[in-house]
Structure 1
Amino acid sequence: MARYNDLNDQFDGLNIEDEENSAFVFGDELQIEGNQYELCVVGRFLTVRNINVNAMKTKMADVWRPAMGVNIKELEPGIFLFQFYHKEDMKWVLKGGPWSFDNAMLVMSEIPDGEEPQNVPLWHVNMWMQVCDLPSGFMSEVVGKHLGDFFGEFLEYDSKNNSSLGREFMRIKVRLDVRKALKRKKKITKKNGVEVMVSCKYERLGEFCFTCGMLTHTERYCRKFLSNVSEGITKEWGSWLRAPPRRAGIPAKSRWLREEDDKDWETG
């Protein structure tokens, strides 16, 4: 009986939590074979509505038409992994946005080496915008950079559009933080002291709230709107912020949608 008492005394001295929290340390002996998500993009749609995943897969694959196909997987509710099979396909999609499904904009990001897709912040979207009502002499890249950094973060100046005769607007690409309201206009001052208000339109702009200007929801889910709907509320944003959309029909099934283990995939 004594020996069992001795065992009990030993067990009392063990702390299983300390053992579990004592970490293994791996050094040079751990071989990491590159970034497994090198050809992947993680994304989410700016909507509180449920996404029809199957319809979304077909729509996005058909719009992108990647030469080597794309596999789309839902990692967790609302978070999607887009796996490409060629670097140029992925680069084209990242550069060509913003993209949307069912009028909900897609926020996308590459996945840093060593990071899990679910942990990548998804708060920014790159978008082309048109700055209208600029006075003569203001259609320059210098002005575009200042305006771009006001509306968001300046990324690119469309010199081809902005240098053409009879141009009606300046076209610039900006990086927008979806946690902030869309900006609609900006006052600029000419050398003679005359002030001019320039307006803007956003290309491929999906659904957003006309009450608070946020991209993350519509009025149906806007707390500001719902709190003041009985008293009446002035809407300071509207559909006039959208540049004319371009629409195309979508077939029932996309030839560019690829299954994950389909090594014999061909576009046909």
Structure 2
Amino acid sequence: VGNIATMNMDDIASLCAAMSLKELEGLVHKLEGDLKSDGERKLSLCLVFKVLANKMINREVFRRVLLKIRIRESIPVEVVSEKNFTFHFQNIEDPRRVLTGGPWSFDNFLIVLIELNGKGDIRNMSFNRATFWVQIHNVSLLCMMKRIGQFLGSL
């Protein structure tokens, strides 16, 4: 075919057509239909979180703090990286309650929570958004509207 640096599109297309994953990897097996739905169900029970800290997080201390969050059942916590973790809940109400009950912190560091969607790598997720309750005092009644609140929150 020639030097790779001088290959044209037809040469590359013919090489790709000649390749076969089946020959290299053996038999191809199809997944059962239930496996995908089971995976989606398990993902719906998981939250990924990152502690925005400038120091290492003690996993055992963190786990003890998690026990204080009144969840119905114990929460397995998986360490993904130095400051990234996953919660594995047992029922659908608990992750919803954790998401809506924030913002959360640990040792005065913000915890950013993300729902898993099945795509990408946890290590590459962007933990750049958190929901906060903001209370503004002495606002005129005229300004107490959702749109004005959203405007102020976007600043």
TM-score past 0.5 threshold = yes
Aligned length: 129
The whole-number CA distance in structure 2 between the counterparts of 1:103 and 1:41 is 20
> Which of structures 1 and 2 has the larger relative contact order (alpha carbons within 8 angstroms, sep 6+)?
2
Q: State yes or no: 1:53 paired with 2:54.
A: no
Could you say which residue in structure 2 is the equivalent of 1:181?
none
Give, as a single letter, the amino acid of the residue that structure 2 aligns with 1:146: F
Aligned: 1:75 with 2:99: no
Deviation at residue 139 of structure 1 after TM alignment: 1.9
CA-to-aligned-CA distance 1:209-237 (integer Å, 9 cap, x gap): xxxxxxxxxxxxxxxxxxxxxxxxxxxxx
Structure 2: segments with no counterpart, 5+ residues: 1-14, 23-27
Q: Which residue of 2 aligns with 1:126?
A: 131
Aligned match of 1:219:
none
By how many angstroms is 1:82 displaced?
A: 0.8
Paired residue secondary structure (1:65): coil
- CA 1:23–1:45 in 2, change beyond 3 Å: closer, same or farther? farther
CA contact (8 A) 2:78 2:87 kept: yes
Which structure has more helix as a fraction of its residues?
2
* Letter in structure 2 aligned against 1:148: G
Aligned to 1:40: 46
Match of 2:122 among 109, 117, 138: 117
**CA offset digits 1:86-110 (Å, max 9, x no partner):** 1001100011111111101101101
- Contact 1:43 1:108 (8 Å CA) reproduced: yes
Is contact 1:74–1:80 with CA below 8 Å preserved after alignment? yes
Q: 1:37 to 1:139 in 2, by over 3 A?
A: same
Alpha-carbon distance in structure 2 between the residues aligned to 1:96 and 1:80: 18
Provide the C-alpha distance between the structure 1 equivalents of 2:20 and 2:84, rounded to a whole number of angstroms.
30
Note the C-alpha offset of 1:128: 0.7
- Corresponding residue for 1:190? none
**TM-score, normalisation: structure 1:** 0.43
Larger radius of gyration: 1
Secondary structure (helix, strand or coil) at the match of 2:135 reads strand
Question: 2:56–2:82: 8 Å Cα contact kept in structure 1?
Answer: no
When the two chains are superposed, the root-mean-square deviation of aligned CA atoms in Å is: 2.6
The structure richer in strand per residue is: 1
Aligned 1:152-167 pairs, distance under 5 A: none
Query: Is residue 92 from structure 1 mapped to residue 93 from structure 2 by the alignment?
Result: no
Give 1:148 shift.
2.4
Note the residue ranges of structure 1 that are not aligned, 5 or more in a row. Answer: 1-17, 151-268
CA 1:53 to 1:134, structure 2 compared with 1: closer, same or farther past 3 Å? same
Q: State the Cα distance separating 1:136 from its structure 2 match.
A: 4.3
Residues in 2 aligned to 1:39 and 1:117: alpha-carbon distance in whole angstroms: 15
Is residue 142 from structure 1 mapped to residue 143 from structure 2 by the alignment? no
